[in-house]
Structure 1
Amino acid sequence: MTIQEIDALIVGGGFGGIRLTGLLKNQLQLAKVVAIEKGEGLGGTWYWNKYPGAQSDSESWVYGFSDDVDTPQPTTRYLYADDVQRQLITTAKNTNVLDNYLFENQVVSAHYDTTSSRWHITTDKGFRFAATYFITALGILSKPYIPNFPGIDTFQGVSFHSAGWPKGLNTDGKRVAIIGTGPSGSQITSAIHRSVESLVVFQKRAQYITPVENRALRDEEKDAISRDQAKIWNTVFNSLFAMGFEESNESALNVSEARRREVYEQIWNKGGGFRFFFEAFNDLGIDFTANETAAAFVREKIAEIVKDPQTASILQPTGAYGGRPLCADGYYEAFNNPNVSVVSIADNPISRIIPTGIELQDGTALEFDIIVFATGFDGVDGAYRDVDIRGRNGIRLSDVWQERPNALYGISVAEFPNFFTITGPGSPFANIPPIVEVQGDFVVRLIRELNQRGGRSIEANRDAELKWTELVQAVSRSTVFDKVRSWIQNNNVAGSEKFPVLFLGGLNTYTAKLEEEANIQYPSYQFLD
């Protein structure tokens, strides 16, 4: 096909892609903006993750953009996947970007041409573009990860990753295996356990999971949300994790045990993983002694809820409470049902998948109709390895990020001009839509600055990128998260080495850093003629 000359190409149909397409089209007034999405419709993560129980872990009134005034008003505390997708489609319509999207296409290569200062981009369906700006909004959890189980292709039942839940699949009366106990595994367990014939959860590492307490909002709550929008969003952007509630400024170690228990009990009953971790006390993420007080409380709750002591013991986590704070309604309660059980595969791992089900290392064979691989994602930079991205002088992004994936502010990479990675490695760990807002606004400012200087391209300064990488590492080392195996540390995938890929210093700190960068005329960037 002929090459289409355009101003910008954006990859992604989720929060990041929709936001950046709108900003470039409506604020920068770029005439030719194309957005590429591999799915049949918008939604990003919420297009693909349609498993039973899939829902946001940020509360509904802050899981969106602060200026998105025409989206449906929230009716529940948390949003289910279909609700988020509808909200994103409404946002796309309101910002007039639907016509900019090319669906059912996947970008397979993007090569920067130094002579023309253009990105030459090709999709799997043969579309070709030459763009001044190349922006990726691939999502931090968009590349499903399934361990390489021997015999995985021999299973005669239905098997799939949780992010590829088959449309219309009915699990009623089926024998179901769920491998994994992260967000999707715990949510699916909570959602389907009552209707299946049997459900076996294969657990490699027990998780700290709090209730979510999703429910319909009361009328007075809806009125308060509508009335206090400015206050709510001020709290979002001036906090560490942008969840819309006041984060605690009190140490767990400076109060009595009775007071600690009172706080934990109150927030446990209120529901929400991020609330339990960050609204309770301010040192759960940075002090192991404080962290253990929360961890012990959750273990006690599990022992209270799960009636069978052996099952409760398997479900009780050990070690630090960190990583992404999980929440699901009725997860531990599910194991009180006679048709639900948990198998620890920490010391007796899955040996292979067999035609009838799963065989463990000790020879135990279990039969299933359905196997769900709730085994997580190759997070943050994983999706980038599926695209042949080459910058100046043919340097490959996959080579640059082979061992230490990181971008300046999570946005820009040295030797990759006019290339911006929304929620890329080095971005803050916080509520995703506010991150996208902050990063999108910064990208607009960078492009405006480039135009004002009369330049052709902009890229990260290598030394500045290295300093940002070092800061991301240093902040991580000062937290409990650094000792917990997770995608945040880039070590949840077999064969990968630990390397923190998110900035744990908070969205407010991050935003202040971007503001400082702009105020002193972008010294961390190179503007080239």
Structure 2
Amino acid sequence: MSATPSHTDYDVLVVGAGFSGLYLLHRLRSEGHRVRVVERAPEVGGTWYWNRYPGARCDVESVDYSYSWDEDLQQEWDWTEKYPAQHDILAYLTHVADRFDLRKDIDFETTLTGAEWDESTSVWTATASDGRRYRARFLLMAVGCLSVPKDIDLPGFDAFTGRVLRTYDWPEGEDLAGHRVGVVGTGSTGAQVIPALAKTVADLTVVQRTPNFVIPTRNRPLNDGELDEIKADYPDRRVRNRTHPAGVFRDDNPKTTFEVDDAEREATFQERWDGGGINFLGSFADLMFDQAANDAVAEFVHAKIDETVDDPTTADALKPMSYPLGAKRPVVATDYYETYNRDNVRLVDVKTTPLDTFTPTGFRLADGTEYQVDTMVLATGFDAFTGAFTTVDIRGTGGRRLSDIWNQDGAKTHLGLGAAGFPNMIIVAGVGSPSVLANMITAIEQHVEWISRLLDTMRSEGYTTIEAQEDAQEAWVQTVEEVAGMTLWPNGDSGSWYRGANIDGKVQIFMPYAAGVVEYGAAIDKSAANGYEGFILS
């Protein structure tokens, strides 16, 4: 490149226009940085644009799954339900983009294919699929943790000649009423889409590889006056959220599971179950630290499955036995277990009888049983944390590819913010940070504020580049592993995407930081206070 650093097109190139990208654009632009956002979708929203499948809903309360950085915004927006549906979140983000005039600095339907660091000019050059090129001092990756679906790994799937729908890119207005439908996947997405489809399709066949613990949502409309009370309490509520490890206040029980008698333990589980949502995980303080405690709560959920599901064989198949509750992403859904009592719904447990192959009109099990479907719905998960990075040709110092490094050594970062060998590339709420183990909005705001402070410091003190030190990066990766090792999270069965185990050949390291946003905030603030310790500023 012939351009000098003073003639870069932008100060900051942001990849992604979801919650992270929109806040980065607003904040950095208001602080005088020249910012451009590229987004492959035709609209803002990130994961909430793509995941339009029936039943899509957030498992964090609507009033907390929203920005805290503008008082007028949080006072003027009216949420209608306790847990927001996909279309409500997308409407909110569309409103944010309009209200703060963000669209003028976003290039929609623009897919980044590569980005290369020029050591001579300290500038990133990024290339889009349509040939457009962007030059910027900083490359901010606001791509989300769950934005690239995993490859289809179903035996003989190419033989199926019916319709295939993937939940991450659901056709707008799609109606499967009267169809014979198969669903593969019973994670968070599957547990939401299965009850929704069951109400309209003629026949629903659920293909389950691993059962999940599903906590009832207990969603409801917000009561009269309830939202007004919340809005009046917003300043204190936001503080409570930021001072809880999960990034959202939970009424956690300080008692441990076995310091109470059987009656109190059962009553506590029941009260939390009736209340619904992630508060169930706060039933006792040791559920994610003591296996016996976790066994007790798992036994409670197993009993609830027995109470709810009429057919004993189906109920047994729905009970997770191979991992602790919470060690995989907790699933929160509405009427999931009740759905298996419907006459038009059947569960096919391929752990008991393996899937042999797909056929032109459905699929066949190893015992020869065949199932006929018109449409297959794939809710089969994501290449979590890394997919949005390794599918782009990102080249750092010496032309080294990030995909080569992460595919060989695992996804390593320092403080979840930077990767050694990739100056001025900053990651937002992804691998090495609390991310999916917390309220993502709290985590995102924490990151954006740190990045804002960093860029202001670099500008005022004349620094050009920042890069993670390799030894600091290795130490942080070890810290993330050690913290996870103090909990039951690493015991999430052989397929946990927290470790990347759901992707064949992916290097397995525990990717989210399990200590939560409070400890994490202390770590990144300490680095900043000590001259961005663990990073090289030049």
Determine if the TM-score, normalized by the shorter chain, exceeds 0.5. yes
In structure 1, the partner of 2:413 is 407
Show CA shifts across 1:302-352 (max 9, x none). 000001111111111113112211111100001111111111111433222
CA positional deviation for 1:148: 2.5
The secondary structure found in structure 2 opposite 1:216 is coil
* Among candidates 525, 531, 535, match of residue 521 of structure 1: 531
Structure 1 residues 86-485: aligned runs within 5 Å: 86-272=91-277, 274-277=278-281, 279-319=282-322, 320-321=324-325, 322-402=327-407, 403-428=409-434, 429-485=437-493
Task: Tell me the distance in 2 between the aligned counterparts of 1:146 and 1:170.
Answer: 25
Matched to 1:23, the amino acid is R
Contact 1:149 1:351 in 2 (8 A): no
CA positional deviation for 1:494: 2.6
* Among candidates 5, 10, 22, match of residue 14 of structure 2: 10
Moved more, 173-182 or 92-101: 92-101
CA positional deviation for 1:497: 4.2
In structure 1, the partner of 2:508 is 498
Contact 1:475 1:504 in 2 (8 A): yes
TM-score (norm 1): 0.96
Task: Tell me the distance in 2 between the aligned counterparts of 1:364 and 1:146.
Answer: 26
Q: Quick one: structure 1 residues 291 and 150, their matched pair in 2 at CA, closer, same or farther if it must change by over 3 Å?
A: closer
Show CA shifts across 1:265-292 (max 9, x none). 11111111x2111x21111111111111
Contact 2:420 2:473 in 1 (8 A): yes
Task: Tell me the distance in 2 between the aligned counterparts of 1:497 and 1:453.
Answer: 39
* Among candidates 38, 41, 47, match of residue 39 of structure 1: 41
* Among candidates 27, 30, 35, match of residue 26 of structure 1: 30
Task: Tell me the distance in 1 between the aligned counterparts of 2:293 and 2:16.
Answer: 40
Matched to 1:526, the amino acid is I
Moved more, 122-131 or 448-457: 448-457
Task: Tell me the distance in 2 between the aligned counterparts of 1:199 and 1:18.
Answer: 38
Show CA shifts across 1:376-435 (max 9, x none). 111011111110001111111112212320211211111211110112210112111111
Moved more, 223-232 or 295-304: 223-232
In structure 2, the partner of 1:488 is 498
Q: Aligned pairs, how many?
A: 523
Contact 1:146 1:161 in 2 (8 A): no
**Could you tell me the percent identity over the aligned residues?**
33
Q: Quick one: structure 1 residues 80 and 46, their matched pair in 2 at CA, closer, same or farther if it must change by over 3 Å?
A: same
Contact 2:498 2:512 in 1 (8 A): yes
The secondary structure found in structure 1 opposite 2:36 is strand
In structure 1, the partner of 2:57 is 55
Matched to 1:382, the amino acid is G
Matched to 2:279, the amino acid is R
The secondary structure found in structure 1 opposite 2:296 is helix
Contact 1:43 1:88 in 2 (8 A): yes
Q: Quick one: structure 1 residues 190 and 68, their matched pair in 2 at CA, closer, same or farther if it must change by over 3 Å?
A: farther
TM-score (norm 2): 0.94
Contact 1:251 1:283 in 2 (8 A): yes
Contact 1:380 1:423 in 2 (8 A): no
Task: Tell me the distance in 2 between the aligned counterparts of 1:48 and 1:381.
Answer: 18
Show CA shifts across 1:160-211 (max 9, x none). 2211222222111111111110011110111121221111111111111010
Matched to 2:288, the amino acid is G
The secondary structure found in structure 2 opposite 1:147 is coil
- Which runs of 5 or more structure 1 residues have no equivalent in the other structure? none
Show CA shifts across 1:36-71 (max 9, x none). 000110110000000000000100010012124315
Moved more, 246-255 or 292-301: 246-255
The secondary structure found in structure 1 opposite 2:66 is coil
Task: Tell me the distance in 1 between the aligned counterparts of 2:359 and 2:143.
Answer: 34
- Compute the RMSD of aligned alpha carbons: 1.6
Task: Tell me the distance in 2 between the aligned counterparts of 1:356 and 1:315.
Answer: 26
The secondary structure found in structure 2 opposite 1:90 is helix
Contact 1:406 1:424 in 2 (8 A): no
Moved more, 328-337 or 362-371: 362-371
CA positional deviation for 1:362: 2.5
The secondary structure found in structure 1 opposite 2:455 is helix
